[in-house]
Structure 1
Amino acid sequence: MKNMAAGTHCTVTEFLLTGLTEKPGLQMPLFLLFMGIYVVTLVGNLGMITLIGLSSHLHTPMYYFLSSLSFIDFCQSTVVTPKMLVSFVKEKNLIPYPACMTQLYFFLIFAIAECYILAAMTYDCYVAICNPLLYNVTMSYQIYISLISGVYIIGVLCASVHTGFMIRIQFCKLDMINHYFCDLLSLLKLAHSNIYINELLILCFGTLNIFVPILTIITSYIFIIASVLLIQSAEGRSKAFSTCGSHISAVVFFFGSLAFMYLQPSSMNSMDQGKVSSVFYISIVPMLNPMIYSLRNKDVTVALKKIFQRKSFM
């Protein structure tokens, strides 16, 4: 923790982002790689949102949740990736202080929202498998709206508190952020004032926003597995598991990379590792989610075929 002498006034107008790597030979290959990933992410997630919107038989809470996940993934990637791409082609990747705080704010909103949307989707799977006859009542449109509203309210509330206390921190001169975007932990390493409250907020909100969704997911899947094992036919068990199989993949990818980033000792070495792990939940996971759900979901595949057939007849 850094402390400035009493009476010293610190102001900073911009930060310098070190980027994903400082090796010149890797800059252009990485630029092309992440540009490709970003394009696939945009096409995949916007395509999933459009497909669900156009296909009337996908107008159910299960696919509304999937559409919301695609929207969050699209926004999450767009908040961070364009600035990362700039770091590969510019010698000095500067970001103004207001832009840095704005990026941090929206990054936190969508990262936290994704934790809870995955938990909500697991609950939806639980209701569909364990209480199929009551699904339309338990997962009504009003319940769906309440859950989605809760996802964004928690995201906005936590992001607002984190960013509000971050703005109170003093930064001096042109500080270098050891990251490719304005991440919470990287910014706190540059603080020239007391960050006790910020660290406490990370501990409290981090515990809440990671462990509450994970406990919800684990509890739901315990009941799901217990219900599936009671199904007599092998075909019925296979169909039930396939309903949630793609969701399990998305959960493992997202929470695995998130935990590796934020639940490890703070050091320069771990920050460098953290940059790599953050690539997974910021770039790779948003790209893979539409593929996972479209390839493993028969309803999505059928809807996609109908859209293409409709276009071919036009």
Structure 2
Amino acid sequence: MRSTGMKSTVCLAALLSTMGASAAEVEKSGPLINKAVIEQEAGKTVYWILPGPRELSEEVFGTPDDPKRTLEPILAEVDKPPIRELLQELPILVAAPEAARKTNQAGTEYTVFSQPTPFSDKARPLPPEKSGHFRTTLLDRVGEDQPGKPGNTPDEVKLESEFHDPAGNQYRLEFDHVVQPPFPGYETQGGVFIDGYLHGTTGTGSPLMPKEYTRGAWWGVVDLYVNDEKVDTKVAHLMTTEVVRKRDYSLALDEEIPLEPSERHIPEQEHHTHLIVMPIKPTPEGPVFEPVNTSFELPNGEKQPFIHMMFEEDRIVEWELGSS
């Protein structure tokens, strides 16, 4: 399963260490800094994102004469073998390897990242009766990541979610515990992030997503159920952001953000929620690459190795900054 094509297909929004204690083992202490409750009811607009190429932003990735967000400088700052190995296997989690960047005919500009990623323009809208719904509560207790302890965080998350793939298979996630990324430059407020910017040029999250204002986000370990059967345990990432999908559902570049209402997929909707289940399995030795055990078959006959859902009509039920 570790072919180059498969690795490239499963580039993700973030990479997390999953070696920490479970939520039940972490002492919850300190005042609550921020809180958010976000949901989308059943029967509203949901998209299943398919693997595909990604247009490259000059602002984020530079030019062939001056490339940016390459892997080598990031690897130079990683001293933990499991994390280093994972980044080498799945470099698009934090960078875009130059070998897969296509250029214009003159060789002066990057055009697209040619390998399929979860951050593509390819997506399938789901029928209202088989779309999905979610509700999540984010409790942010620390303003900064806890050095050296990626799993030991007082931040908390609650999650209820159910959704379908384009073939009609039913999925459900059960949240286990929050984790925080162990990468140089990552700033996730302890694994629950509220009120700030992620992705793009920020250094936190995959640069293949545009820099986007984020109302709330979390990283954590979830159990995955397909058609009521537990099939997997993986790392997941949820974020509610400004709208970054255009009217034709293409993913905007950094230079195009923020989108005007007339440019958004749903003009009256100011934000939407991304939910990704990543091909990263927590083990006692550390996080390892392993495709997500989905039931959705791609045209090449392989199962899609990640889940990327877009909830386009979400609602922010509660959003408190600086509460105690």
TM-score where L is the length of structure 1: 0.22
- State the structure with more CA Rg: 1
TM-score where L is the length of structure 2: 0.21
- Write 1 or 2 for the structure with the bigger share of helix: 1
Structure having greater relative contact order (Cα 8 Å, sep ≥ 6): 1
